[in-house]
Amino acid sequence: MISKNQIKLIKSLQQKKYRKLYQLFFAEGVKVIQELLNSNYELVEIFTINELFLNVEKSKINFISETELKSISSLVTPNECLAVFIIPETELKDYSNTLQIALDDIRDPGNMGTIIRLADWFGVQNIICSEATVDVYNPKVIQATMGSIARVHVVYCDLKAHLSEVSVPIYGTLLQGSAIYSKKLIQPSIIVLGNESNGISKNIQQLITHKITIPRFGSLQQTESLNVATAAAIVLSEFCRNN
């Protein structure tokens, strides 16, 4: 059973302002929820159409109908279960002895989620986001992380101010950079990924200490750019392959 007020609350969590107000977010599907349950995230309540989570306190499980699930889901095809978690407080932590990622105004939730999944794969523990980067607790971001959100620390800050203070190399993919395959890529360092339409902003470009570029191989040479998540995949792979 689910009450009208619960439906209203959960639906409101699709919007950032209500997530901020209530300090809550939701995740959907067994895989993502299970990964969050195995992490430090604190569960509020699970809504499920099947008996799925045997290790969860019974008082936190609500069995609901498919129709009820549909009324709270953000998915076109709801995925058996939805769980509400508390948004943890985050702060800038010192990851300066590791490879880090900085997101400069990434706007697409799918891209952000995919980058978090990639970070997890390549052992990147910390992602620093500009204030204008899409909210990590957006349901589409959570979905695209496929659960990796449970293992990667994501923090928002004044990116320019933060990068001005670090002492590790700051890498950024820019058209006029050195071919990534020919450079020794130094770790610990920070890889900056830029906005989907405008790339890395002028403010942040000034702080890039190592400009790199992914060479283009097509003979027609008309492709203008790579999607930011696929560029991130290539850059992370290059950083890790030799280490």
Contacting positions for a second copy (CB under 8 A) = 31, 35, 110, 114, 117-118, 120-123, 144, 146-148, 151, 181, 214-220, 222-227, 229-234, 237-238, 240-241
Residue closer to a second copy by CB (options 78, 163) is: 78
Residue closer to a second copy by CB (options 28, 120) is: 120
Residue closer to a second copy by CB (options 91, 224) is: 224
Residue closer to a second copy by CB (options 12, 187) is: 187
User: In the complex, what is the shortest distance from the CB of residue 134 to a second copy, in angstroms, rounded to a whole number?
Assistant: 15
Residue closer to a second copy by CB (options 170, 236) is: 236
Q: Are 239 and 185 in contact (CB under 8 A)?
A: yes
Measured CA to CA, the distance from residue 217 to residue 52 in angstroms comes to 48
Mark residue 107 as left, alpha or beta (left: phi above 0; alpha: psi -120 to 50; beta: remaining): alpha
Residue closer to a second copy by CB (options 55, 167) is: 55
Measured CA to CA, the distance from residue 115 to residue 141 in angstroms comes to 10
User: In the complex, what is the shortest distance from the CB of residue 213 to a second copy, in angstroms, rounded to a whole number?
Assistant: 12
Q: How far, rounded to the nearest angstrom, does the alpha carbon of residue 11 sit from its chain's CA centroid?
A: 21
Long-range interactions of 75-81: CB distance < 8 A, separation 24+: 75/28, 75/143, 78/28, 79/28, 79/29, 79/30, 80/29, 80/30, 80/48, 80/49, 80/50, 80/52, 81/28, 81/29, 81/30, 81/33, 81/46, 81/47, 81/48, 81/49, 81/50, 81/52, 81/53
User: In the complex, what is the shortest distance from the CB of residue 120 to a second copy, in angstroms, rounded to a whole number?
Assistant: 5
User: In the complex, what is the shortest distance from the CB of residue 73 to a second copy, in angstroms, rounded to a whole number?
Assistant: 19
User: In the complex, what is the shortest distance from the CB of residue 69 to a second copy, in angstroms, rounded to a whole number?
Assistant: 20
User: In the complex, what is the shortest distance from the CB of residue 161 to a second copy, in angstroms, rounded to a whole number?
Assistant: 29
User: In the complex, what is the shortest distance from the CB of residue 164 to a second copy, in angstroms, rounded to a whole number?
Assistant: 29
Residue closer to a second copy by CB (options 176, 222) is: 222
